């Protein structure tokens, strides 16, 4: 990332798709996404509202919108007051996008776009214009 790469990172706090393999099978995705240390390092956090509706809804990431289901919400994290100069230098310049479904961080010369839901990749029969929305999100992330 620091050298100029682009990354689209979908981190889902609660997968909702139906998979051909049973839970426990090594090829089945994990049901709950854990926050990777790199996200914290960049200066982001994610929260999950357990009371949200079990219906697909569209959320804005600023430049467009995507369908989500049991999504997280991206948050800016305060730096650790005991962080070293190296840790502080590793933080990304992050901003929350749209309704909070996504964040974008400049990391060195690169940029990462993080989305707090992966439902867009899980639909067996995508609703409405979901395939186009996925392409628009990918283009947004790599431009």
Does 32 map to a domain? yes
**What distance in Å separates the CA atoms of residue 73 and residue 45, rounded to the nearest whole number?**
8
Q: Is residue 86 part of a domain?
A: yes
Dihedral in degrees, nearest 10, Cα atoms 102, 118, 70, 127: 110
pLDDT at 72: 93
Residue 103 belongs to a domain: yes
Name the one residue in this structure whose structure tokens are 């981190």.
Answer: 11
pTM: 0.85
Question: What's the domain count of the chain?
Answer: 1
Range of 63's domain? 6-142
Query: What pLDDT, on the 0 to 100 scale, is given for residue 36?
Result: 78
Given a cut of 70, the residues of the chain with pLDDT beneath it are 31-34, 126
């Amino acid at each position: 990332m620091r050298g100029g790469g682009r990354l689209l990172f979908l981190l889902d706090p609660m997968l909702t798709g139906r998979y051909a393999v049973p839970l426990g099978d090594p090829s089945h995705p994990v049901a709950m996404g854990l926050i990777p240390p790199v996200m914290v390092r960049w200066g982001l956090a994610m929260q999950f509202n357990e009371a949200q509706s079990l219906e697909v809804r569209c959320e804005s990431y600023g430049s467009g919108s995507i369908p989500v289901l049991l999504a997280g919400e991206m948050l800016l994290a305060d730096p650790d007051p005991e962080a070293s100069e190296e840790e502080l230098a590793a933080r990304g310049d992050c901003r929350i996008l749209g309704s909070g479904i996504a964040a974008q961080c400049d990391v060195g010369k690169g940029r990462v776009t993080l989305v707090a839901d992966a439902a867009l990749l899980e639909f067996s029969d995508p609703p409405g214009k979901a395939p186009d929305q996925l392409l628009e999100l990918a283009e947004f992330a790599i431009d």
